Amino acid sequence: MSKPLLEIKDLKVYFPIRSKNLFGGVTKYVKAVDGVSFHIEKGETLGLVGESGSGKTTVGRSILRAIEPTEGQVTYNLDGDAVDLAKLSDKEMRGFRKYMQLIFQDPYSSLNPRMTVRDIIAEPLVAQNLAKGDEVDERVREAAAYCKLNLEYLRRFPHAFSGGQRQRIGIARALISRPEFIVCDESVSALDVSIQAEILNLLMDLQAEFGFSYLFIAHDLSVVAHISKRVAVMYLGQFVELAPTKDLFLSPKHPYTEALMSAIPEVNPDIEMAPVHLEGEIPSPINPPSGCRFHTRCPYTQDICKTKIPEWKEINPGHFAACHFVDTLHLKGVEMPNSEDAN
Amino acid sequence: MTTTDLSHTPLSQEESEEAQRYFSASQFQLIWWRFRKRRLAQTGALILLVLAFVGLFAEFFNPYGGTTRISDAILVSPQIPRFCNDAGCTLRPFVPGVVSKRNEETLRMETVMDPSVRRDIYFFVKGEPYKLLGFIEMDTHLFGLKEGAINLFGTDSMGRDLFSRLLLATRTSLSIGIVGVIIAFVLALIIGGIAGYFGGWTDYAIQRLTEIVRVVPVIPLYMGLAAAFPKEWSSTQVYFAMTLILALVGWPTLARRIRGKLLSLRGEDYVIAARLSGAGSSRIIGRHLLPAFMSYIIVDLVISFPYMLLSETALSFIGLGLRPPTVSWGVLLQDAQTVRAIEQAPWLFIPALFVVVAVLSFTVLGDGLRDAADPYQVSD
């Protein structure tokens, strides 16, 4: 097996909190991402799920250096050469931007309302001098065509478009520099369900066409199941489970994953749902709980969970989880939603 | 930022030409279309344009110069042009003549209208020579009399034509406001821009400095600065010193707003998108940040005009600002301070009317512009 496209090792992103007084220094940190390691193969989609505040978006953005990582390595394999993105200067990073792009969650705020669709899509080309003159227009038209945008619309401004169409414009902008890796940050969660399916299918078509690797961030498990080959579950800045999509859904190994699964709405109204209710809110990432971070809300918690940090173990090939009781707990999985589409 | 989907029509349908136009309209077109619906703001803009135009070419619209004294015409009340008198009506407008008479009760010389004398008004008459815009030598005035004097707004206690002085004052007061606002704006843009773009410690230090300037009480500050003008300064020097004072007091508010706007824009998704697209600082500032707050800046400028106007008027009124022979609205109103003025020459208050109209016009214009300025936000 060739080297993965992207290898993230022990990634940490801390945000300092300054104290309120005049000369106060940094006293505390919000540990948004606290030691996360994973890899992404070329042409693969890795799903990343977790509730709000778990640090999913921060993981995605710090890989792209939209947020500076505090610690850790982000190794990018560019035609066999390994480059640690976390150590590049801003200037060097600019040269790398063409290989990686971000598709935003909000299709309204992510497009500059003062630029035409053509200028928005062309931005990566123009900003990095990747193309000049007529070639820019040609590539804009090409990218727009891939995203099934009417070429007539290129002269228009974003206010002329609906959410789904705006998201297509955002996707066209992401793919015009022919990147290898795209972070989809909740890219469909702001859209109607019918439009969601359209955009998901578009993303998968583009992947088949260009061989993109996606880091697909979402909070909706059924969406993730539809598009991902592997799925990582994140809780309070750390991964709790990472497994091939099917394994994760059929036999989750972490109680938090089980709780997430049980919250997927059942299509058949005759089947009674038995969601595992989690008590309380996600704890503060400033002072995370000791031991296993999930112990404050875990229905299976025992004394050891409060003191000892569980190990990140490979249970089955490719199936990782961090729980003291992976071998003894028998957790309930679910039928794969849209299982026929999953690969 | 709340953005609202302005188009609910699916694009695949047949579109009217109007919709096509709307969809490909730029920001300034959208602003203009919205502004066109605001009659009040347009009225304000029109009044200001007329004031600025008349002020700019004041010498041409004036029958007399600003310091010309008309003998035998002390405190003449406004002469209103008319077309008819006892002798009948004509097409040419005229004003009644003026005669000096001793008041039998107060024994003071007074000027009164003599309706039996008819002074015809002629247009484009030759009169006092002047330099239009400071360099075109001319002696044609828009209107005037062949004999006698015309005082549309009356005269002051020294026999100077108030109408002529008022137009010259309009130019001084408006220009002092404009220059003051521009200087304040440049200061604010630099200071607020640095604070907003760099953030952190720079921002903190600049913020505290701005607060210090803001809490200094304005009137004593004005008085202190104005008292520092050397007496021997020429009126031009005083004029520029005044604009500087107004600007120095006016910048903190503007700087704060620019900083706030920059800070909020820096975190906008589309600015992050530009950075992730590999755009450098200059492109981000030029293509994304500046266009986004240009409209706010214009509105802010228009709204801060009235403060400048009022400050200038107030300072000159209490004798701290501009000094005669320079004429500004405030200087003119100085003449209206005495009880005698209120009692005998209420027309000396006409400059106050101009101040009120100008300030109101700026306010309604600024209001209308603010509503129109963000076409992506639905405010009505």
- Measured between CA atoms, the residue of chain B closest to residue A174 is B277
Are the CB atoms for A334 and A264 separated by under 8 Å?
Answer: yes
- pLDDT classification of A240: cutoffs 50, 70, 90: very high
Binary contact (B27, A114; C-beta < 8 A): yes
B 326-355 near A (Cβ less than 8 A): none
**pLDDT, position A341:** 44
- Measured between CA atoms, the residue of chain B closest to residue A173 is B277
Please determine, for residue A22, whether its predicted confidence score (pLDDT) is greater than 60.
Answer: no
DSSP β-bridge partners for residue B130? B138
Query: Which residues in chain A touch residue B34, judged by CB atoms under 8 angstroms apart?
Result: none
Q: How far is A293 from chain B (nearest CA, A)?
A: 30
Binary contact (B274, A150; C-beta < 8 A): no
Q: Which long-range contacts (CB under 8 A, 24 or more apart) does B7-15 make?
A: B7/A159, B7/A160, B7/A161, B7/A162, B8/A162, B10/A162, B11/A150, B11/A153, B11/A160, B11/A161, B11/A162, B11/A165
- Residue B285 at interface with chain A, using a CB cutoff of 8 Å: no
Please determine, for residue A25, whether its predicted confidence score (pLDDT) is greater than 70.
Answer: no
Q: How far is B183 from chain A (nearest CA, A)?
A: 28
**pLDDT, position A273:** 65
Q: Please report, to the nearest 10 degrees, the dihedral formed by the alpha carbons of residues A113, A115, A120, A122 taken in order.
A: 180
Q: How far is B34 from chain A (nearest CA, A)?
A: 15
Residue extents of the structural domains in chain B: 62-160, 165-373
**pLDDT, position B8:** 42
Q: What is the pLDDT of residues B171-185, one digit of tens each?
A: 888 888 888 888 888
Share of chain A above pLDDT 90, in %: 31
φ/ψ (deg, to 5) at B147: -140, 155
Binary contact (A150, B11; C-beta < 8 A): yes
Query: Which residues in chain A touch residue B278, judged by CB atoms under 8 angstroms apart?
Result: 94-95, 97-98, 124, 127-128, 177
Binary contact (B292, A114; C-beta < 8 A): yes
- Residue B21 at interface with chain A, using a CB cutoff of 8 Å: no
- pLDDT classification of A216: cutoffs 50, 70, 90: very high
Binary contact (A94, B283; C-beta < 8 A): no
Are the CB atoms for A33 and A13 separated by under 8 Å?
Answer: yes
- Residue B16 at interface with chain A, using a CB cutoff of 8 Å: no
Binary contact (B287, A115; C-beta < 8 A): yes
- Measured between CA atoms, the residue of chain A closest to residue B293 is A114
- The CATH fold of domain B165-373: MetI-like fold (1.10.3720)
- Residue B378 at interface with chain A, using a CB cutoff of 8 Å: no
Query: Which residues in chain B touch residue A162, judged by CB atoms under 8 angstroms apart?
Result: 5, 7-8, 10-11
pTM, 2 dp: 0.73
- pLDDT classification of A37: cutoffs 50, 70, 90: very high
Binary contact (A177, B375; C-beta < 8 A): no
**pLDDT, position B3:** 41
Residue among A127, A157, A159 whose CB faces B274 most closely: A127
**pLDDT, position B12:** 44
Q: What is the pLDDT of residues A168-184, one digit of tens each?
A: 999 999 999 889 999 99
Token match 């002529």: residue? B164
Measured on CA atoms in the order A235, A241, A247, A252, is the torsion positive or negative?
Answer: negative
Q: Which residues of chain B have pLDDT under 70?
A: 1-16, 18, 27, 374-380
Interface with chain A: mutation pick from B6, B275, B277, B284, highest number of A CBs within 10 Å: B277
Please determine, for residue A19, whether its predicted confidence score (pLDDT) is greater than 70.
Answer: no
Q: What is the pLDDT of residues A278-328, one digit of tens each?
A: 777 788 888 888 888 888 888 888 888 888 889 888 888 889 999 888 888
